Amino acid sequence: MISSLRVGRGLLANPAWAARHLGKRLCLVSEPIVHARYGRSLLKALAGLKIDAAVHLLPNGESAKTLASLRLLYASLSRAGIGRDGGIIALGGGAVTDTAGFAAATYLRGIPWISVPTTLLGQVDSGLGGKTGVNLTEGKNLVGAFHQPVSVVCDLKTLDSLPLREVISGLGEAVKYGLVFNRRFFDQMRRDWDRLLALEPSALAPVVRRCAALKLGVVAKDERETKGSRELLNFGHTVGHALEAECGYGVLRHGEAVVWGMRAALALSIMKTGLPQQDALDAGRFLASIKVPRPEVRPDRLVARMYRDKKVRGGMLRFVLLRGIGRPAVVPVTEKEARDSLEVLT
């Protein structure tokens, strides 16, 4: 399991955490824009600690998460002489941490890695939990492994340069934690929404820490998603992942797709689990107020994508729904019910 979680500003300026966990030989895996902004100065700080770091740059965005990209990363690790006494620092968004983490899980049958997510989405969700992997044309994250980072480092300073869509994407994912696990946390995010959009540290830091604590608590109980509790983290993701794949990876941000997925899940919750009217109104109005692009997709194609979801059992769709805010349940859903829920997209 993760041995340390750090949340704060300026953590990349003093990477003693790298020496503590990875030794003196490692590979910094990033992508060009992030490396230019933060990677080069991190390399200098690592050199000051007598740490020898090779560099491998992945393509931007979801194009990093391919088998072809992964093969090039393996080659870089081999050329750099990275051994089991070394490791990987993954510096970037979710695509970087997913791909670099999967490389760490499989290179030499497993080497240690540190997740340094530089997007809000990464800091509240995708950079945590040890679910690593890449995409296939058939679907998102279909090839992967469970491989926990030895440490997660969330430097809030790296969020300062994020475009608004990336901020909304991360906050959309953060809303999930409140709806699934904690009504009070959901209400707090609603009250502080404008401050969160502005990345005010006094509002943002508690949200990042709270999301991390909630996710790591679930992962500790169900690391490999075999006991059911980790499935709850997929609220909004059955429709969300289908939307990402159908629109083309990168066209719709992950958190944007999850917002639409949560709206569909709320519609199903009213039909299937008796979600109280006030909870449905509170959650529905708030999600509808989040400014995300409206995708243009065919419902039949989207439903077909849903049947490739990892939660499908015996040919039956299974959705994470709500009995109330903070009261989740995993429920079988028919094809017609899934199709009806997509009316929120029209």
85 and 189 share one domain:
no
173 and 291 share one domain:
yes
pLDDT at 225 over 80: no
Active site residue 221: no
pLDDT value for 1: 62
C-alpha to C-alpha distance for 127 and 123, rounded to whole angstroms: 6
151 and 127 share one domain:
yes
- Burial class of 10 by CB neighbour count within 10 A (0 to 12, 13 to 18, 19+): exposed
C-alpha to C-alpha distance for 216 and 210, rounded to whole angstroms: 10
pLDDT at 226 over 80: no
pTM: 0.89
Active site residue 56: no
Per-residue pLDDT tens over the stretch 277-321: 999 999 999 999 999 999 999 999 999 999 988 778 888 999 999
Q: What's the whole-number mean pLDDT along residues 60-83?
A: 95
Active site residue 109: yes
39 and 20 share one domain:
yes
C-alpha to C-alpha distance for 158 and 64, rounded to whole angstroms: 20
149 and 197 share one domain:
no
Q: What's the whole-number mean pLDDT along residues 205-218?
A: 91
Active site residue 234: yes
pLDDT at 99 over 80: yes
Token look-up 């998603």 returns 225
Q: How confident is the model at residue 227 (pLDDT cuts 50, 70, 90)?
A: confident
Catalytic residue among 35, 56, 237, 272: 237
**What are residue 205's DSSP bridge partners?**
none
Active site residue 135: no
Mean residue pLDDT of the chain comes to 94
Active site residue 35: no
Catalytic residue among 65, 140, 147, 215: 215
Q: Comparing 115 with 141, which gets the higher pLDDT?
A: 115
C-alpha to C-alpha distance for 341 and 267, rounded to whole angstroms: 6
End of a domain among 108, 133, 159? 159
Catalytic residue among 65, 140, 241, 253: 241
Catalytic residue among 21, 56, 253, 254: 254
330 and 185 share one domain:
yes
150 and 188 share one domain:
no
Catalytic residue among 234, 244, 253, 263: 234
135 and 263 share one domain:
no
End of a domain among 90, 124, 159? 159
pLDDT at 158 over 80: yes
CATH code, domain carrying 336:
1.20.1090.10
C-alpha to C-alpha distance for 201 and 207, rounded to whole angstroms: 10
Q: Which two tokens stand for residue 164?
A: 């608004």
Active site residue 31: no
**Domain ranges, residue 232:** 164-345
Active site residue 21: no
C-alpha to C-alpha distance for 275 and 269, rounded to whole angstroms: 6
Active site residue 173: yes
| H-assigned helices in the chain | 16-22, 32-34, 40-48, 67-79, 94-106, 120-121, 164-181, 183-191, 193-197, 201-221, 237-247, 254-272, 277-289, 299-306, 335-341
Nearest CA-CA partner of 256 in 175, 172, 345, 321: 172
pLDDT value for 249: 80
243 and 100 share one domain:
no
End of a domain among 137, 159, 181? 159
Give the contacts of 150 (CB within 8 A, at least 6 positions apart). 2, 3, 4, 21, 22, 87, 112, 113, 114
Q: How confident is the model at residue 219 (pLDDT cuts 50, 70, 90)?
A: confident
Catalytic residue among 131, 140, 147, 176: 131
Tally of domains in the chain: 2
Active site residue 215: yes
